Amino acid sequence: MQEKNLSFNNFEQCIKCTICTAYCPVVAVNPLYPGPKQAGPDGERLRLKNKFFFDENLKYCMNCKRCEVACPSGVKIADLIHSARRRFSRNIPDLRDRLLANTDLLGKVARPVAPVVNSIVSSKPVKAVMDVMMDIDKARAFPKYQRKGFVRWFKKEAADNQEAYSKKVVFFHGCSTEFQHPEVGKAFVRVMNAIGFGVKLVDEECCGVAMISNGLWNQARRHAEHNTRVFREVVTGEGLPVVAVSSTCAFTMRDEYPDVLDVDNSDVRDSITLAEKFIFEKVDSGEVRLAFKDDYRARIAYHCPCHNEKLGWGIFTKALVGMIPGVSLTILDSHCCGMAGTYGFKKENYKYSQEIGRPLFEQIRSLSPDFVCCECETCKWQIEMSTGYMVLNPIVILAEALDLEATAVANSVR
């Protein structure tokens, strides 16, 4: 192999075929974005000569990774773009970007006064002020903060029971489970317990994906180093897997840490997984058996989030949800919803964000499912706001469709 001839981000493998641009959701709607080929490998060649060639319009990249999935030459195009932003951008994140990036801090501040915050940010006058003062688009609906977070529930209701299980997993709940959707975490614990696994929490910090998007590089790196260190203790020390319920958290902690933030996670990367992949592997190997309710009925449309397309793990959700008797499952066309984390909140992106997601919204409306299944919370916010259809994390669907007691018996749990 000629490894010595390759740069760390292999831009010289690009053959200029422009296939990446053909699959870029942003370039299709926003003419200000230079497109993945120009922003990635073409620009990198110039930037190596002189940082003067860095273009601040690279910020329009949503980091959906569709360019990398499409590239016939294996170029890490989005990594090129975001590592260039990290190395060369002179843009100093403003208050809005800092607020949006700090999903965990924002959650901690908002939680004690959740009902007030929720009603304030959904009131029209406040939205108008945020629109003008902070460039957060007034048409955007905010996810609702929950007063009682997941961790508090876990400590009070579930933690004591977990010691009884001989097999364990570490649960990376992520910010949205803690602050907005504790039901996802509760569902995770119920399902894991039913299939014979105890759940352990560690001192996690936000995965940092929103910090990467918003250019808070040092902070993102600190989070990456913290999480990787914490995982190292349980992965190499106790041999436990780290299981997430958000595909974006899992993706970021596996691949963005080394590729964009330059944080070495090689000893823990393969142990970071997604709930659906974890459960599927156990079922496929015969270690775990699932017993479903007889009377569960649902017509479900599955939207595979971009980061799960990149991970290549959508097949596990498809397989697991497809196992439920009484479910009719339609796989939606592979299409970005346009939200891309905090991207769709921003006034300058809102219009493009809706335009990117339009084909997906139209397909959902035409199918008229009972609800949509998706592993990503920000896709959920976008789809729920834009279509009115409810979006459920697959683990919530499983918790609902499984006969948990029968499953526990089938797996010889107590």
Does 56 bind other proteins (CB under 8 A)? Our answer is: no
Residues 250-279 that bind other proteins (CB under 8 A): 270
Select from 26-34, 88-96, 345-353, 376-384 the region that touches other proteins (CB under 8 A): 26-34
Select from 121-129, 146-154, 180-188, 304-312 the region that touches other proteins (CB under 8 A): 304-312
Select from 67-75, 90-98, 240-248, 286-294 the region that touches other proteins (CB under 8 A): 67-75
Does 28 bind other proteins (CB under 8 A)? Our answer is: yes
In this structure, are residues 190 and 399 in contact, taking their beta carbons and an 8 Å threshold? yes
d(CA 179, CA 103): 9
d(CA 15, CA 7): 15
Residue type, 71: C
Q: Which is nearer to other proteins, 21 or 214 (CB)?
A: 21
Q: Which is nearer to other proteins, 4 or 124 (CB)?
A: 4
Q: How many CB atoms lie within 10 A of CB 123?
A: 11
Q: Residues binding other proteins: what is the number (CB under 8 A)?
A: 37
Task: Name which of 184, 245, 154 is nearest 400 in CA terms.
Answer: 184
**Strand 167-172 relative to strand 242-244: parallel, antiparallel, unpaired?**
parallel
Does 54 bind other proteins (CB under 8 A)? Our answer is: no
Tokens, residue 163: 């010691």
Does 309 bind other proteins (CB under 8 A)? Our answer is: yes
What binding mask, one character per residue, do residues 326-365 give for other proteins by CB under 8 A, x or -? Answer: -----x-xx-------------------------------
Interface pick for other proteins out of 3, 4, 5, 31 (rule CB under 8 A): 31
For residue 273, the cross-strand partners are: 243
Q: In degrees, to the nearest 5, what angle opens at C-alpha 186 toward C-alphas 301 and 367?
A: 10
Distance of CA 10 to the CA centre of its chain: 25
Does 284 bind other proteins (CB under 8 A)? Our answer is: yes
For residue 346, the cross-strand partners are: 136
Task: Name which of 258, 243, 146, 246 is nearest 202 in CA terms.
Answer: 243
Q: Which is nearer to other proteins, 46 or 406 (CB)?
A: 46
Q: Would you tell me which residues interact with other proteins (CB under 8 A)?
A: 17-19, 21-23, 27-28, 31-35, 37-38, 42, 68-74, 270, 281, 284, 309-313, 315, 318-319, 331, 333-334
